[in-house]
């Protein structure tokens, strides 16, 4: 199934994308899909500066006045860092005032320091207060790997999410515990939420994702709109749980 058909975003929405293992790719894929609308890309943290082909123009609130034409707009501050060129947040108060100028606002609201998994600090994820939908991304490809600082951002904090130890193999059950943890990805987030189990690129990973979803509690699933398994790079996805069923 085409990945974009899984989301069915409303005409006007503000989407915050959090987690690890595919956030930026998903953000850019959504932006390209909605390029015939007025779509804005931005961040509340830091993200790699998009390639020029990924957007049509830079949104400058003082110079680009409504009505805006259709296309992909980029908003934020450009900065060179030790990890490469990054996009930093623009003035979010200005963005809040201008939301009606856009059909889709897509926000990268989390960072994982290029690790497949992470633990969340008290100030994370950094959710824009006008967010209407939060999408949390977790890579199923972490399964079968050992818990280490190469795999996990903030490993010591991550180990507190359960009876975990460094060197332990990641399983679907372990990931389910992390996803549900009160200090985890969705711990402080209200409003509509979608869980995306990403990097599902073969039959074995489909089975791993299905096992993970079966280990999520009924109470936790009740807080979600959908669970989607996906291979974002291939634009493939499938809804495996839907609150509307």
At residue 245, the pLDDT reads 58
Mean pLDDT of 44-64: 94
Residue 185 is assigned to a structural domain of this protein: yes
Residue 224 is assigned to a structural domain of this protein: yes
Tens of pLDDT along 178-205?
Answer: 999 999 999 999 999 999 999 999 999 9
Q: Are 6 and 239 in contact (CB under 8 A)?
A: yes
Count of domains forming the chain: 1
Residue 35 is assigned to a structural domain of this protein: yes
Q: What is the pTM of this model?
A: 0.97
Q: Is the pLDDT of residue 121 over 70?
A: yes
Alpha-carbon torsion 151, 49, 84, 110, what sign? negative
Q: What is the mean pLDDT of the chain?
A: 96
Residue 243 is assigned to a structural domain of this protein: no
Residue 186 is assigned to a structural domain of this protein: yes
Cis-peptide, bond into residue 67, ω within 30° of zero: yes
Domain CATH number, residue 69: 3.40.50
| Structural domain boundaries, residue 101 | 3-238
Residue 245 is assigned to a structural domain of this protein: no
DSSP E strand stretches across the chain: 13-19, 38-43, 47-48, 57-58, 71-74, 77-81, 84-88, 104-108, 117-118, 133-139, 152-153, 193-198, 226-231, 236-242
Tens of pLDDT along 205-221?
Answer: 999 999 999 999 999 99
Residue 145 is assigned to a structural domain of this protein: yes
Mean pLDDT of 114-137: 97
């Amino acid at each position: 199934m085409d990945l974009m058909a899984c989301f069915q975003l409303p005409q006007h929405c503000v989407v915050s994308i959090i987690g690890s293992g595919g956030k930026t790719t998903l953000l850019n894929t959504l932006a390209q899909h909605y390029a015939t609308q007025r779509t804005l890309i931005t961040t509340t943290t830091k993200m790699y500066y998009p390639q020029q082909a990924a957007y049509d123009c830079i949104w400058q609130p003082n110079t680009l006045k409504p009505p805006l034409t259709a296309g992909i707009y980029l908003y934020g501050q450009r900065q060179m860092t030790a990890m490469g060129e990054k996009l930093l947040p623009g003035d979010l108060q200005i963005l809040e005032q201008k939301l009606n100028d856009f059909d889709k606002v897509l926000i990268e609201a989390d960072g994982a320091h290029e690790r497949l998994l992470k633990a969340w600090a008290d100030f994370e994820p950094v959710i824009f207060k006008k967010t209407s939908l939060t999408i949390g991304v977790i890579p199923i490809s972490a399964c079968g790997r050992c818990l280490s600082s190469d795999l996990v951002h903030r490993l010591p904090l991550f180990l507190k999410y359960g009876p975990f130890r460094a060197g332990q193999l990641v399983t679907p059950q372990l990931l389910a515990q992390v996803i549900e943890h009160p200090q985890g990805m969705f711990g402080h987030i209200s409003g509509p939420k979608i869980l995306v189990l990403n990097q599902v690129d073969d039959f074995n990973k489909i089975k791993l994702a299905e096992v993970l979803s079966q280990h999520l509690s009924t109470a936790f699933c009740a807080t979600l709109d959908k669970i989607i398994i996906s291979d974002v790079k291939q634009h493939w996805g499938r809804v495996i749980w839907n609150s509307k069923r």
